[in-house]
Amino acid sequence: MSETAMRVRAQIDLAALRANVRALRARAPRSQLMAVVKANGYGHGAIRCARAARQAGAGWVGTALPQEALALRAAGDRGRLMCWLWTPGGPWREAVEADIDCSVSGLWALEEVSAAARAAGRTARIQLKIDTGLGRNGCAPGDWERLIAAARAAEDAGTVRVTGIWSHFACADEPGHPSIQAQLAVFRDAVSYAERQGIRPEVRHIANSPATLTLPESHFDLVRTGIAMYGISPDPVLGSPADLGLRPVMTLSATLASVKRVPGGHGVSYGHRYVTPGETTLALVPVGYADGIPRSGSGAGPVLIGGKWRTVAGRVAMDQFVVDLGGDSAEPGDEAVLFGPGDRGEPTAEDWARATGTIAYEVVTRISDRVPRVYV
Ligand code: PLP
């Protein structure tokens, strides 16, 4: 099917992704870079993005779920790979056999990964996650001693090797937030405590995209970049992608399915939340919330059609929404660009985030499997 014949497509600019990886490596020249490709590469396609990031020098790839990491191995990824969101009974043995670095936040996880390593006859690579103040996953400060002692014992028994000590920021996208320095201090304490106990991690890491961009002292041995690698600013307060030397990777566009003239007073879409103010032209954009377009974009989301910004008229439905073109004309088959880099005048993912009360992370990540990815 030709691209224009496609109902909708997410064009993924892998050259832009590679350039973003190079730009981020230049921000942290003494650290390795982990390309974060969880959630299908923030909607961009994990396998293709991981491959492109490695071509641009990412020494590591990271995912949340072990299943995501195993899928990368099944697709042929052979480099250093880490995953961090485990639940009891997870696929530890498969991960150990696939040489995946497994994050361990507590004793139960250490016991499960050790048992998997014994069963596989291998030494598991584990990375100890410390909760330095995010209050989410990670070992709480009062529990370090026991976890680190148990990890040392497991190293002596040959079941695990602690390859990393790591953590995650809560407020790195708010430069100057007092929690940033507080988390760094706790992280340094945890690392030095573990090292005093004889742990020799290859990598110590805490920086996500905003910290990579704004806080060199947080770079340690490795930075884990997600959103910035996809060319999106972690937060508008840090500047636009162009200000940060980044280029958005995804362009989401659709093909108009119908264009029609209607009289004034014509109700549009479910609930008639929009009624045409006079005789006008309505264009049908055949994408909806099943494709990942936020329903909160009803009456708010921007779209470029015929060189002009329009706004979604009425409600976003499951498969489609309507745009009022006023006095302008269009043809079925014309392109509607929902978001992209912005240099053809189209809205950006940040514009959609602003219009729908969310963050650009969510705008790109929620684009569903229904939308074909076209790699260029
Ligand atoms: N590290 C961890 C543990 C994460 O959960 C994430 C994403 O939320 C990242 C790194 C990447 O963050 P960002 O997309 O802000 O670079």
What are the pLDDT digits (tens) for 75-133? 999 999 999 999 999 999 999 999 999 999 999 999 999 999 999 999 999 999 999 99
Q: Which of 61, 132, 43 is nearest to 100 (CA)?
A: 61
Q: How many CA atoms lie within 13 A of 175 on its CB side?
A: 15
> Ligand 1 mean position to 64 CA, how many Å?
9
* Rounded Cα distance, 105 and 1, in Å: 47
Model-level ipTM above the cut of 0.85: yes
CB 23 within 8 A of CB 245: yes
* Rounded Cα distance, 133 and 167, in Å: 9
Q: Which of 281, 258, 360 is nearest to 7 (CA)?
A: 258
Q: Which stretches of 121-208 are DSSP H helices?
A: 144-156, 178-196
* Rounded Cα distance, 325 and 276, in Å: 11
* Rounded Cα distance, 260 and 337, in Å: 19
CB 34 within 8 A of CB 61: yes
CB 25 within 8 A of CB 33: yes
260 is catalytic: no
The string of pLDDT tens digits covering residues 225-283 is 999 999 999 999 999 999 999 999 999 999 999 999 999 999 999 999 999 999 999 99
CB 366 within 8 A of CB 43: yes
* Rounded Cα distance, 85 and 354, in Å: 29
Query: Which element (helix H / strand E) includes 87?
Result: none
Predicted pLDDT of residue 3: 61
* Rg of the chain, C-alpha, whole Å: 24
Predicted pLDDT of residue 32: 98
The string of pLDDT tens digits covering residues 183-225 is 999 999 999 999 999 999 999 999 999 999 999 999 999 999 9
> Ligand 1 mean position to 224 CA, how many Å?
7
Q: Point out the catalytic residue in the list 38, 129, 274, 289.
A: 38
Where do we find the tokens 């921007």? 302
Dig out the tokens for 223 from the structure.
């930075």
Sign, CA dihedral 6-7-12-13, equals positive
Atom 5 (ligand 1) nearest CA = 64
Atom 7 (ligand 1) nearest CA = 226
CB 247 within 8 A of CB 222: no
- The ligand 1 atom at the shortest distance from the C-alpha of residue 234 is 15
361 is catalytic: no
SS3 32: strand
What's the pTM value of the predicted model, to 2 decimals? 0.97
* Rounded Cα distance, 28 and 140, in Å: 28
Say which amino acid occupies 299: G
Question: Any residues with Cβ below 6 Å from ligand 1, and which?
Answer: 36, 84, 168, 208-209, 224-228, 234
Q: What are phi and psi of 311, to 5 degrees?
A: -125, 145
The string of pLDDT tens digits covering residues 307-359 is 999 999 999 999 999 999 999 999 999 999 999 999 999 999 999 999 999 99
Of the pLDDT bands very low, low, confident and very high (cuts 50, 70, 90), residue 4 is low
